[in-house]
Amino acid sequence: MSRADLGDRCLYLCTPDRPDLQQFIDACIAGGVELVQLREKNLEARALLERARLAVQVCRHHGVPFILNDRPDLALEVEADGVHVGQDDAPPWLARRILGPDAVVGLSTHAPNELDAALEEPVVDYLSAGPVSPTPTKPGRPGTGLRYLTYVVERAKTPWFVTGGVTPESVPMMAAAGARRFVAVRWFAEAEDPTAAAKTLRAAIDKALAKLTR
């Protein structure tokens, strides 16, 4: 997978901690999820490796790219399509060295200075921007607000995804601020029916983006 393969993929699932991981991912993909990231910060390497193998099986079955959070070494072992790293994780250049030229490397950004530095990283294929709203997955980190998205739009040529508080209600405002790709965690984590949740969110994204092209 390469940066070009990101294409117009606009709905990115970052998995919550679920015991029914394979069924959950399968249901989300059925509803319109186009990228999947396994993010489980509290697992030891062996347990994370087992979870990653489960996740990658489902993604391969559907032809959906699978990204592992934080661990390029484990991403290589499970033959993930790429890795997503944060500001305090393995540096992008190391992820690229481990995974090789064909893998996707994503990088989180939370502030203008981090974005500016990320745009100087030639090995980074996509960025995330946020969280726009405070989120339990980033405890203690304040929301960036929509103003940060405006900053990203003005500078980033690299594909980027908005994070933090992505819901059907917030999508129109985020899209109006320049977002075209969306990462959701809590929206899916709280869903009783992941397929229906994905369909609802995907419909909101499609509607918001369609308005911008009229």
Compute how many other C-beta atoms are within 10 angstroms of the C-beta atom of residue 9: 16
Residues with a known catalytic role: 39, 108, 138
- Those residues with Cβ within 8 angstroms of residue 200's Cβ, 6 or more apart along the chain or in another chain: 168
83-111 pLDDT per residue, tens: 999 999 999 999 999 999 999 999 999 99
Q: All domains of the chain, ordered by start, with CATH?
A: 10-212 (3.20.20.70)
Whole-model pTM: value is 0.95
Per-residue confidence (pLDDT) for residue 138, from 0 to 100: 66
Q: How far is CA 123 from CA 97, 126, 127, 208, in A?
A: 9, 9, 11, 31
Least Cα distance to 95 among 116, 124, 117 occurs for 124
Check pLDDT > 90 for residue 79. Answer: yes
- Environment class of 168 (CB within 10 Å of its CB; exposed 0-12, middle 13-18, buried 19+): middle
117-164 pLDDT per residue, tens: 999 999 999 999 999 998 766 666 788 999 999 999 999 999 999 999
Confidence band (pLDDT; 50, 70, 90) for 25? very high
162-192 pLDDT per residue, tens: 999 999 999 999 999 999 999 999 999 999 9
- Cα gap 152→179, rounded to integer Å: 9
Mean pLDDT over the full length of the chain: 95
